[in-house]
A = this chain, B = another copy of it.
Amino acid sequence: MHQALFSFIENYMPLSINEKDAIIALNIFKSVKKNEILLHEGEYTKNSFFVLKGCLRCFYVVDGNEKTTAFYTELEGLTPPSVASQTASQFYIAAVEDSIISTSTSDMEEQVMAQFPKFEKLCRLLSEDLLIKQQIDFNEFKLSSPEQRYQNLLNKRPDLIQRVPQHQLASYLGITPQSLSRLRGRITTKSN
């Protein structure tokens, strides 16, 4: 699993043996089981999560119903906003599949940056990239009908549609499972 992380980082900058060793020494990898909850609503955390293998899901519970807001798969990461504000989390994070993830805290990141200043640059580039991706997703979400959102997902993250239970996918798209089912029917009919 280290190799997957190193390859990801090396998209941004080369890593020396010492730098790789420093990452390995952090001992950040963790296996989580399908449906395991990594963060509960109301819980305090200092952790950022990064998916090496598998799929994580963020969801809120509103009036007793789950509202899924995000999925994170291979080489995607998230820091809950409650980490920075040091407040209770407003949402849950759960594993959709058996997964291997890395967890890190800002203290650990600061430590590595103090030892290897170029990680500062890495973190900046990663944040900038995530910011851009999120901005594109947000704009697309605002501009799209549920049908267009589903089409975007088919184009950009087709694997997700296979991996994620339909009711979670419907919630993520902001529609009912019945509407999703009708929508899939229409799209299949069109493409035949």
Contact = CB atoms under 8 A, between A and B. Distances in A.
A135 B127 CA distance: 12
Contact of A132 (B70, B84, B117, B141): B84
Interface residues of A, number: 34
A121 interface: yes
Contacts of A143: 60, 62, 67, 69
Contact of A128 (B69, B84, B91): B84
Given A79-B132, A132-B81, A67 B142 contact: yes
Taking the full assembly, how many copies of this chain does it contain? 2
Contacts of A128: 79, 84, 123, 127
B81 A142 contact: no
Contacts of A141: 138, 141-142
Interface in A75-111: 78-79, 81, 84-85, 90-91
Given A81-B135, A123-B128, A124-B127, 16 more contacts: A58-B139, A60-B143, A62-B143, A67-B142, A69-B138, A69-B143, A70-B139, A79-B128, A79-B132, A81-B132, A84-B128, A91-B139, A120-B124, A127-B127, A130-B131, A141-B141
